[in-house]
Structure 1
């Protein structure tokens, strides 16, 4: 090698020794500068992605399921009657949840809730990592995040859901007050026993409202949030019970740590075992009838206020009924004792068709204190207490007399109609002065000749009241009846002579309202089953006052009560006499014996009982021979017996009516005419007892003079034991079982009620 080549080789060696050799392959990408750049870039990329997601992800509408709540129906004493709806949840405002129980939940779930930013980034990251690695559910979420998960997202364990939870929580934290977040969390969380929300949980575990919970009880509910099923004391294993008690201690200790509970009070606290779960309240028995009747009443109020009926279906309502549990039990017992236990559908086909409905109303308040809709709502859905497809028959007659008094009506002879006015009680006597031919038959075709209005009411004489209705004016009679609470809709209440016999449709509840108006001295009573309605512990639904305006003058109303006392003292309703309280009332038996009624009242309580024959497909059928009774079922039979049995236990308060009666309505009987002037005409059938009578004038509304010597007015109410024995159901012309309750109607266009 030459001298020049050696020199070049030497220079090349020097250059190589002064510089580091270049990295080749993959190593050239991992210089410390490049790693730092990668890290910064990754952070920037993550931050950019998060900002993009933050801008992209909106707070969605809350889930429909979290808005759904159950409706709670309670009796007047606070006992839960039923719970309706798909979700057992009742939202309450934070103000109803005791502060110490709020503190217990915060201490257990997120002690820094009031000061944190609403998210736990570290916990969320840990949860995402564990989810990716398949380690299952992990804790660490704040109350805000759990509220967001409950209210806006699903419960699935996915990375996408957890990222959304983080972003939405940040947004919710900025827009929603912490108190509202806590309230939302407490009202949406699951506590086990199918209870969503702390109010439902309080009911499920302690059978009380949340505002009545002790701190010990609230601490247990707070402990349940970690593992509801495992910590439910009733079904928990031994380890589950131990863990539940440890968690309970943890909750209270955290409260002490946060200075929300003193150590001294904490030391005295002992774990209390929660109550066993009760079967869910269903719609069986009377529950369904009560709930559905209350729903219908509330829906009517919502419509009247221009609101949608769907408001009720959305849930969250607490409906307190006016039902008195003791009276309700007595009414159910009376129906069973007097009717149900006597029925044997296997032996008698007709027994399968017997239906009973009843309603009992406090006349002073208008509140329904007891209601009987049928033997079992799950077996017979139609509510017999509110159905209006059966005729009230002769229980309508007092309303005719009320209209006569209110309108100062006169009979054919121009005399004011009072209790003493004379009418012709001849069976099938054609009504005079009407536009439609009508000649109603009395029960068993009995003719009574001239009788007073009092006697006509006592014996339930159809011919007399048919003439009275025309004398008053059918339109005026209907107006009075509607004013008193009856349904005046076209098709249900036709202005025809047959309306005098109760040919319209009516329910026991409607008739109880009309009679309550009489008992309330003429002030209209619209019976209400609903005492109060609140939503989510605060919002109230304004219910109309059941006591309305004066629709009858007091004297007129009291005169009707006076005459109805006679029906009990000496008429078709003797079975309801009671020595401990005064009674006024009227029986009724409809055409072909398809329904039988008794409407009556004491000074404080009004009760109507109806019995209906309902065959297959809802077809109306006769009640004849029901329960082994031989013959017709009259209003003075089963219905009056149920009434007497129930009222002997339920009647309370005043025992005498406070009446302001018109003395002109009660006068001595007319003097007997001279023997030579006695007519030869006799009734077609002589009653077994001489009718008593009161008279304002001896001149009857017909040209025929009296055919019998009248007796003195009815005596005062005779003494009976507080709970009279059940009499025979067999009618007689004098007491009539159901009274002298007319027959078929030959000229009315169709057959009409008898009683």
Structure 2
């Protein structure tokens, strides 16, 4: 027996234990078995010690979820929707011809024009969804599943892929940047969620389509449609829309004009888009089968201001700002789609005529480099500017001759004086009503007479020619300065200025309140002339052509911003001067064209009945031709400008001609342009309703006419007009009466007797005796302002 008292007890215990217990006991004796846990469960050994228990896994998962939820709410609270980035809001202004489709130019750093969603072809919208986010309208702003899939594909070498929804892509384009940073992705995530709550799906899709890049420097689907197909986004076909959707994936690589070798990949992507449209029931299988890969237009040159583009843009922008439609700062930010009134065929005709009749005629004389041509053409029935010619090229001559107000319009103002006489029922100083057959003294250098005698102004006629007693009609034919300076005084210079404004010459034009207005001596100073531009004069002549009804000119037919149409000025037609006054002036200006020796005979080459007047500025620095047909009013001017400093220069000696007259190159340009611009239209005559007793009958001879030669008469009181094709006759109608001359013919400058102030303007600022108060008159033998020109 053993001396150990416990031994029998242990054995007794062991004897009742299981074999496993005995084995465990043996292991414990040898030191190999683990000690039991405090709970009585065995401890984890080996790799099992490294694995978390289910309690640990559950706890960790819950902790992570709590952290994620907390982070989400913190991020949602901290990240707000920012202002749009500058690049996303920058747009270009698009200028179009009157057809609303043909582009003139684009002006702006970023080629983008935002449009409304309903201005994008429906199939083009569906194609974009099929390419980028087919569940856009049914799912949330973010797709974690897509993000994880894209991350996995990128990590496993399947190429970089985006898991972003259209909402996320829009956020990236409009609010953030294109940088691939973690912080940007986090911001994108939260902004997309917030945006989805604040904007509708349609608004988000519209923003995405307007901000996406399509290659060819085209931002937004409207610019892309123009860049690849020369179409508006609203007119895209299914095939074209699917191609633009294809470009979103790889704009540069899938532009087949630049990378034709990528055609298989581009077409595969295009097919993927169309198949997606069928799968989503946006396209029927039959429509899909009928859709063919579109023809891709070649890249167009970057729109510039070369040629006439810059002049037109400048005139349009000036019109918009002057009429308070858009301010200059808003225009600079872009985004305006502007349909002009410019008709491309007429604009092309003006360019062609200017090249032929002016620039092709220049030689190598010093004066040839000073020649600048400009002109404006207006449809009298609408007031629309249908053509504007600013010069040879905006990039070579940035000052537009069409809107230049620094040159005097010369004798093109004389018809305004005569119209004012008719409008105001004016009389001569001795009380005779002014009509086309009223006789004036046409002696060169004759003193202008006021109510109290000479007013100190006595302009020379061109080349100092004396005409003696002459009818108003013949004085207009020959552009006699002495007659119309006297008529301006007879009517009253303030009344003439009022008529000029009635006809549409703007208040900004500084018309002198002196008889010097007859020679177009506008402008208060050489440094700040404020004279009349071809556009200003075209407005006035268009009103005459429209029977005295003034329609304020416009160069803008429609303007939109982000799909919204902006209001344009009210251009309600107004009977500015009596129709009889305007039509009688028209008949007189027809005589200037049709009478032998008339200064505007060049207009006959247009093939249309024409009414016109020429003008020459002081010292031959400008030559004008202003006229109209029943369909078109056009003013052409040649200016002498030193390209080095902008100073005015004489045109004498240019174009191999000793002297440039309005009836020369400007008249030839006018006739060539008018003939082409009206080609194909049925020739029509003027429909005139003249004042009683205003039939124009002019003598054939340029010699002074006395009241005894039977060649000057008053027309019968029938209101009839001499047809333009009928040559003036020296035989008076049997019902006519002879109109006495103002003064007897004389070879010296007459001193007219003082008459009662029946025709003068009592408010005229001219001094009754002595010099011209305005500084524009002539007090000596040489006119310091206007020289001897006027025609």
* Structure 2 length-normalised TM: 0.82
Matched, 1:68 2:90: yes
Give runs of aligned pairs for residues 79-228 of structure 1, distance below 5 A.
79-125=102-148, 137-228=160-251
Matched, 1:565 2:590: yes
How has the CA–CA distance of structure 1 residues 36 and 465 changed in structure 2, closer, same or farther, with 3 Å as cutoff?
A: same
Match of 2:423 in 1: 406
CA distance in 1, matches of 2:610, 2:443: 29
SS, match of residue 573 in structure 2:
strand
CA distance in 1, matches of 2:216, 2:151: 30
Match of 2:521 in 1: 503
Matched, 1:266 2:274: no
The answer to which of 214-223 and 430-439 deviates more is 430-439
SS, match of residue 333 in structure 1:
helix
Larger Rg: 2
Match of 2:741 in 1: 700
SS, match of residue 109 in structure 2:
coil
Matched, 1:635 2:662: yes
Instruction: Check the 8 A contact 1:104/1:222 in 2, yes or no.
Output: yes
CA distance in 1, matches of 2:656, 2:782: 33
Cα displacement (A) at 1:546 = 4.6
- Corresponding residue to 1:662 among 678, 684, 691: 691
Instruction: Check the 8 A contact 1:366/1:525 in 2, yes or no.
Output: yes
How has the CA–CA distance of structure 1 residues 47 and 668 changed in structure 2, closer, same or farther, with 3 Å as cutoff?
A: closer
Instruction: Check the 8 A contact 2:436/2:588 in 1, yes or no.
Output: yes
Post-superposition Cα deviations, 1:13-65, rounded to whole Å, max 9, x if no partner, equal 89955745768999699554334322321221122111111111111122222
SS, match of residue 113 in structure 1:
coil
CA distance in 2, matches of 1:565, 1:658: 13
The gaps in structure 1 that reach 5 residues or longer are 676-689, 708-741
CA distance in 2, matches of 1:318, 1:32: 66
Post-superposition Cα deviations, 1:253-299, rounded to whole Å, max 9, x if no partner, equal 11111122222222232222312112122210111111111111112
Instruction: Check the 8 A contact 1:455/1:693 in 2, yes or no.
Output: no
CA distance in 2, matches of 1:503, 1:8: 143
Cα displacement (A) at 1:314 = 2.6
SS, match of residue 184 in structure 1:
helix
CA distance in 2, matches of 1:88, 1:530: 21
Match of 1:590 in 2: 617
CA distance in 2, matches of 1:364, 1:47: 71
CA distance in 1, matches of 2:535, 2:127: 49
The gaps in structure 2 that reach 5 residues or longer are 14-24, 523-530, 700-704, 710-727, 749-775
* Structure 1 length-normalised TM: 0.86
CA distance in 1, matches of 2:708, 2:384: 55
How has the CA–CA distance of structure 1 residues 275 and 673 changed in structure 2, closer, same or farther, with 3 Å as cutoff?
A: closer
CA distance in 1, matches of 2:620, 2:415: 20
Cα displacement (A) at 1:312 = 2.5
Match of 1:380 in 2: 397
Instruction: Check the 8 A contact 1:452/1:693 in 2, yes or no.
Output: no
Instruction: Check the 8 A contact 1:374/1:380 in 2, yes or no.
Output: yes
CA distance in 2, matches of 1:654, 1:366: 20
CA distance in 2, matches of 1:555, 1:264: 67
How has the CA–CA distance of structure 1 residues 28 and 342 changed in structure 2, closer, same or farther, with 3 Å as cutoff?
A: closer
CA distance in 2, matches of 1:79, 1:433: 56
Matched, 1:525 2:540: no
Match of 2:766 in 1: none
CA distance in 1, matches of 2:299, 2:697: 68
Give runs of aligned pairs for residues 24-63 of structure 1, distance below 5 A.
30-63=52-85
Post-superposition Cα deviations, 1:553-600, rounded to whole Å, max 9, x if no partner, equal 000100100111111122111122248421111011111100000101
CA distance in 2, matches of 1:672, 1:298: 55
SS, match of residue 398 in structure 1:
helix
Instruction: Check the 8 A contact 1:365/1:547 in 2, yes or no.
Output: no
- Corresponding residue to 2:651 among 623, 639, 649: 623
CA distance in 2, matches of 1:343, 1:743: 35
SS, match of residue 617 in structure 1:
coil
Instruction: Check the 8 A contact 1:699/1:705 in 2, yes or no.
Output: no
Cα displacement (A) at 1:442 = 0.8
Match of 1:253 in 2: 275
How has the CA–CA distance of structure 1 residues 610 and 6 changed in structure 2, closer, same or farther, with 3 Å as cutoff?
A: farther
- Corresponding residue to 1:297 among 319, 322, 330: 319
Instruction: Check the 8 A contact 1:484/1:525 in 2, yes or no.
Output: no
The answer to which of 661-670 and 357-366 deviates more is 661-670
Post-superposition Cα deviations, 1:70-109, rounded to whole Å, max 9, x if no partner, equal 1111112321111111111111111112222211111111
Match of 1:390 in 2: 407
- Corresponding residue to 1:541 among 566, 574, 581: 566
CA distance in 2, matches of 1:498, 1:468: 11
Match of 1:341 in 2: 360
CA distance in 2, matches of 1:442, 1:2: 163
How has the CA–CA distance of structure 1 residues 696 and 443 changed in structure 2, closer, same or farther, with 3 Å as cutoff?
A: farther
How has the CA–CA distance of structure 1 residues 143 and 237 changed in structure 2, closer, same or farther, with 3 Å as cutoff?
A: same
The answer to which of 578-587 and 134-143 deviates more is 134-143
Give runs of aligned pairs for residues 680-699 of structure 1, distance below 5 A.
698-699=739-740
SS, match of residue 230 in structure 1:
coil
CA distance in 2, matches of 1:706, 1:6: 171
Post-superposition Cα deviations, 1:541-561, rounded to whole Å, max 9, x if no partner, equal 222355631111000100100
Instruction: Check the 8 A contact 2:471/2:698 in 1, yes or no.
Output: no
Match of 1:516 in 2: 542
